[in-house]
Amino acid sequence: MRIQILGLGLLSIVLVAGTAVAAEYDRNPDRFTSLGLTLNLTGSSGDTTLSSGGLSASQDTASGFAGVEVDVRVPVSQSVTLSGALAVFGSGSEADETAALFKQEVNEGGVSLTVGMRYYFNQ
């Protein structure tokens, strides 16, 4: 949770600072500070087959992923833009119980922090 708060605080500072100098970089395609929001939802289903010694058993499986990302681009010169993103995500997977196999369930979640730089060859 502290990483999320720190990330959002840095994002706020970068937004304010980038907006103050945006007009100076008219040759940079990212001349204005921008903020983006991305939602990612993914689902899949299928079956798992386990085999051993000539015997096999199958299970129906289902998986899902959800994530939300906030990203920012801040121009710092005519040719350079700094970028950063903070994402929160979660995923789950489930395999149904059968006569031969136990039910399986996995739930995970996490946070991702990304920083980057873009150079434009516009001189």
Instruction: DSSP for 24-74, please give it.
Output: G-TTSTT-S-EEEEEEEEEEEEEEEEEEETTEEEEEEEEEEEEEEEEEEEE
pTM of the model: 0.65
Q: How many domains does the chain have?
A: 1
pLDDT tens for each residue of 40-74? 999 999 988 888 888 888 888 999 999 999 999 99
Domain range for 13 is: 2-119
- For the chain, list residues with pLDDT below 70: 1-23, 123
